[in-house]
A = this chain, B = another copy of it.
């Protein structure tokens, strides 16, 4: 029996991760986006509903990430039916938590189920990457890959994507704090230097190498140091995020191993061990922003949680 209706969830992700600009990313447990897809008689894609975005996302079928991904997948599979799609945003927009990637990956997973799974996981990565391009203009995989695969990923190459998947120790926690202001990826990209002095390249390479060794060796303190020392991207972007210094220092004072900007920001994440410490670190980070008059949401998660998954499907 073919699948008539499928629901998929894809998690928020932290990309860049200090020295791993455009290279590292890891999945969070939550928040995340959910996409429902079901068969319809009329060929093509119908975007039925978008919830949770306060009406901010486009409803145009070929511009909305979820329906754009669905359309491309349908065309690729030469389906004899159409697909209706509903997108439920659990992820804040413009937060630096991989909002468009979560929508793209959830859509890819749900629509693949509807089509009776013609596509392998690596092909789903390509479709999700297309969704990222529709949303942002750039087909980066540093949010898409961890949202799909889960874990802590190293993007060895963007095109064609080559991804190494690592697992972090189970007790590690990402404390992610999302302040209530938006920072466009475009603006965050605009402040990046176009060229970098060679000495600083070496420092970044060393930091990234140390970070991988720390993840694989289970050395949280070393990973934390590698994050916090990054001096190309974080330095350029910190000025765009009021409170970056204060929130990071609050995290460190509460015992975090390190902190940095999540993706293009403005969310900030800190790394620590165990739920108890994570709760304390999170409270201090939120309080630091509150002192600056900025409200913020707190998410505590494993570092490198599982990736996207089907929540259910219905055969007829």
Residues of A within 8 A of B (CB): 19-24, 154-157, 164, 166, 192-198, 201-202, 204-213, 216-217, 222, 225-226, 232
A165: nearest residue on chain B (CB-CB)? Answer: B213
Taking a contact as CB atoms under 8 Å apart, the answer to whether A205 and B208 are in contact is yes
Q: How far is the CA of A216 from the CA of B206 in the complex (A)?
A: 16
Taking a contact as CB atoms under 8 Å apart, the answer to whether A23 and B209 are in contact is yes
**A24: shortest Cβ distance to chain B, in Å?**
7
A209-B24 contact, Cβ under 8 Å, with A164-B222, A195-B198, A217-B216: yes
Given contacts A164-B222, A198-B232, 9 further A-B contacts (CB under 8 A): A21-B201, A23-B205, A24-B209, A154-B209, A194-B197, A195-B198, A196-B197, A201-B232, A205-B208
Specify which of B164, B166, B205, B216 is in contact with A204 (CB 8 Å cutoff). B205
Specify which of B19, B166, B195 is in contact with A196 (CB 8 Å cutoff). B195
On chain B, the residues within 8 Å of A225 by CB distance are 156
Q: How many copies of the chain does the oligomer comprise?
A: 2
16 A-B pairs (CB sep. < 8 Å): A19-B205, A20-B205, A20-B209, A23-B209, A154-B206, A154-B213, A164-B213, A194-B198, A195-B195, A195-B196, A195-B198, A196-B198, A196-B201, A198-B232, A204-B205, A205-B208
On chain B, the residues within 8 Å of A204 by CB distance are 201, 205
Taking a contact as CB atoms under 8 Å apart, the answer to whether A211 and B209 are in contact is yes
Taking a contact as CB atoms under 8 Å apart, the answer to whether B209 and A198 are in contact is no
Pick the most buried of A197, A210, A216: most chain B CB atoms within 10 A of its CB.
A210
On chain B, the residues within 8 Å of A206 by CB distance are 22-23, 154-157
Q: How far is the CA of A206 from the CA of B216 in the complex (A)?
A: 16
Q: How far is the CA of A265 from the CA of B157 in the complex (A)?
A: 27
Taking a contact as CB atoms under 8 Å apart, the answer to whether A154 and B210 are in contact is yes
A226: nearest residue on chain B (CB-CB)? Answer: B156
**A220: shortest Cβ distance to chain B, in Å?**
14
**A232: shortest Cβ distance to chain B, in Å?**
7
On chain B, the residues within 8 Å of A195 by CB distance are 195-198
On chain B, the residues within 8 Å of A210 by CB distance are 154, 156, 164
A229: nearest residue on chain B (CB-CB)? Answer: B157
Taking a contact as CB atoms under 8 Å apart, the answer to whether B201 and A166 are in contact is no
Pairs of residues from A and B, 4 with the lowest C-beta to C-beta distance, nearest first? A195-B195, A212-B212, A156-B210, A216-B216
Taking a contact as CB atoms under 8 Å apart, the answer to whether A209 and B156 are in contact is yes
**A68: shortest Cβ distance to chain B, in Å?**
26
Q: How far is the CA of A208 from the CA of B213 in the complex (A)?
A: 11
A207: nearest residue on chain B (CB-CB)? Answer: B156
Pick the most buried of A196, A204, A205, A210: most chain B CB atoms within 10 A of its CB.
A205
